[in-house]
Structure 1
Amino acid sequence: MRAAVLTAFGAPLTVREVPDPEPDGGEVVVEVLATCVPPYAGEVFSGRRKYPLEPPVVPGPGGVGRVVRVGPDATRLRVGDPVWCDSTVRSRDDALTPDITLQGWSSRGEGGARLARHLHDGAFAERMRVPTENVFPLPAEAEADPARWASLGVYTIPYGGLLAGGLEAGETLLVSGATGNLGSAAVAVALAMGAGRVIAPGRNRAALGLLTDRFGPRVRPVELSGEEEADRAAMSAAADGPIDMVIDLLPPAAPASAVRAAAMTVREYGRVVLMGGVGMLGGADLALPYPWIMRNSVTVRGQWMYPRSANLGMIRLVAAGALALDPERVRTFPLDAVTDAVGHAAAHGGPFERTVLTPSGP
């Protein structure tokens, strides 16, 4: 089969013939129909983000596929089924604190690195080997437009954070980083889950306008100035009432002060979920005040990715029409144009812009 291979950090991806994946017990082989190229993929491949990939590797975090082979432990999957392949792989020998790898993308700790060496290659290939429990059946309509359904990989990440924070229908949510690729997805998912109001701060006036045009008055945009106290006051005022929950999805280049300004708008007994990359490239720590957290009984938690059940929940939200994929601006690239796809993703990382690689397509 053909695949895009990262031979070394800083080297361009090379499309070449590689051996077909052979499944072990508890694994499925899928034909990859579509996979999203993250806007920051170029930073990963250059080594700037210092992701723990071990080249040579076929990168790519999950995607939409068609089942080619199933193992003996699969009782309902059938060859030919359209499926979603979740990249978040967990070790099976520790139910309490499993090691985690993002197949073809990243990992956590030495245990995650060991897991990544077994499930080394990701979705930038014609075929991919995936753990059985990471394969989720899709409705028939997904097969007609797999590139659009590949957006599941973007939406499920903030969905995991919203589940972790216990977002309830009617609540007010503030999305820190709302004008970014993941942040805008969080706005959409929160509204699909029944949020009464979403505060959307950002500096990109056009992106803020796009959010309000798409979702109407339930989204309250706030144009940020970069001055911490003034921004906190503006976000609080936009809520016109208490903010129940804050989710942060800002990228590594953002300052910790922006996260702090957003987090400290949350009400007494409110929840703050941290999912972004602030601090990954150095810089000041978040430094939330101890007395503020304690005296206001604020819950602050980190969340990396999402629970396995979130995949099914997200598929259901889309299939039911609660979350519409029609407005996505999708640009597809064949496998041979993977370098162009990475460049396009970097230049088009705004709200609801998807760069999609179609490895098995024409």
Structure 2
Amino acid sequence: MKAAVLRTFGSPLTIETLPDPVLGTGEVIVDVVATGVTNYAIDVFSGARNYLLELPVVPGPGGIGRVRATGPDATRLQVGDWVFCDPTIRSRDDAANPDMILQGWTYRSAAALRLHRFFHHGSFAEQMLVPTENVTRIGEIDPADAGRWCALGRLLVPYGGLLAGDLQAGETLVVNGATGGFGGAGVAVALAMG
């Protein structure tokens, strides 16, 4: 498969041919159709953000694609399904306090490094290996609209916050303007929720 690879911080991404992902239990292989590029990607790629990221890596947090293959424990996903791939991967051995990574973007602790090494490559590739629980069917979409569906990753963060805050339709929400893209997404989600 073709992929954009970050070999060293401060160097441009290079297009390379890498081995296709190998499917296991609890995993899905997705043909990536669209993925977003964060406005601070240059700071990650240059090393200025000091993100924990073991190189070389195929960057890219999350995306939209079609299921290529599912593991034997998937019961509803079908080959060809359109899906959203959530980049927030959690370890499975401590549900109350899981170690987490953003696939293809960063890991947060020494314990999460093992997870980062396993689900290492992100969505700047033709295919990616994703935990089954991180793949959500989105129904039939026009392939030309796949890029628009990448906004889900931005919208789900404030949506989770609004749900956790138990905000109800008609209540007032104040959003700090300095929160950038997530703040703007929070306003859009709050309006959609009433």
TM-score range, shorter chain: over 0.9
Q: Which residues in structure 2 correspond to 1:1-362 (within 5 Å)?
A: 1-141=1-141, 143-177=143-177, 180-194=180-194
- Residue deviations 1:136-160 (CA, integer Å, cap 9, x gap): 0012125451011111111112222
- Report the AA paired with residue 169 of structure 2: A
Q: Please report how far the alpha carbon of residue 179 of structure 1 lies from its aligned counterpart in structure 2 after TM superposition.
A: 7.3
CA distance in 2, matches of 1:142, 1:161: 30
Give the corresponding residue for 1:315. Answer: none
Please tell me whether the aligned partners of residues 122 and 128 of structure 1 are also in contact (alpha carbons under 8 angstroms).
yes
SS in 2 for 1:31: strand
Deviations 1:267-313 (A, max 9, x none): xxxxxxxxxxxxxxxxxxxxxxxxxxxxxxxxxxxxxxxxxxxxxxx
Q: What letter matches 2:5 in structure 1?
A: V
Cα distance in 2 between the residues matched to 1:14 and 1:169: 47
Are the aligned partners of 2:82 and 2:141 in contact in 1 as well (CA < 8 Å)? no
Q: What value does the CA root-mean-square deviation take over the aligned residues? A: 1.3
Contact 1:142 1:149 in 2 (8 A): no
Deviation at 1:178, TM superposition (A): 5.9
Secondary structure of the residue aligned to 1:173 is: coil
8 Å CA contact retained: 2:158, 2:189 = yes
- Does the 8 Å CA contact 1:87/1:134 hold for their aligned counterparts? yes
Contact 1:178 1:184 in 2 (8 A): no
Partner deviation per Cα, 1:234-291 (whole Å, 9 max, x = no partner): xxxxxxxxxxxxxxxxxxxxxxxxxxxxxxxxxxxxxxxxxxxxxxxxxxxxxxxxxx
Contact between 2:81 and 2:139, CA under 8 Å: does it hold in 1?
no
Q: How many residues align?
A: 194
Question: TM-score of the superposition, structure 2-length normalised?
Answer: 0.95
- Normalising by structure 1, we get a TM-score of 0.52
Quote the offset at 1:113 in angstroms.
1.8
SS in 2 for 1:180: helix
Paired amino acid for 1:127: Q
In 2, the alpha carbon distance for the partners of 1:14 and 1:63 equals: 20
Give, in whole Å, the separation in 2 of the partners of 1:66 and 1:101.
Answer: 22
CA distance in 1, matches of 2:34, 2:82: 11
CA distance in 2, matches of 1:57, 1:69: 22
Question: Quick check: which has more Rg, 1 or 2?
Answer: 1
Contact 1:82 1:142 in 2 (8 A): no
Larger RCO, structure (CA 8 Å, separation 6 or more): 2
Structure 2 residues without counterparts, runs of 5 or longer: none
Residue identity in the other structure for 2:63? G
* Corresponding residue SS for 2:162: helix
CA distance in 2, matches of 1:68, 1:110: 32
| Distance (Å, rounded) in 2 between the aligned partners of 1:23 and 1:170 | 47
Letter in 2 for 1:107: Y
Per the alignment, in what secondary structure is the counterpart of residue 145 of structure 1?
A: helix
Q: Percent identity?
A: 61
The structure with more helix, counted as a fraction of residues: 1
Could you tell me which amino acid in structure 1 is paired with residue 43 of structure 2? E
- Stretches of structure 1 that go unaligned for 5 or more consecutive residues are 195-362
Change (3 A) 1:7 1:47: same
Counterparts of 1:178 and 1:186 in 2: how far apart (Å)? 12
> C-alpha displacement at 1:166, in angstroms?
2.2
Q: Helix, strand or coil for the counterpart of 1:139?
A: coil
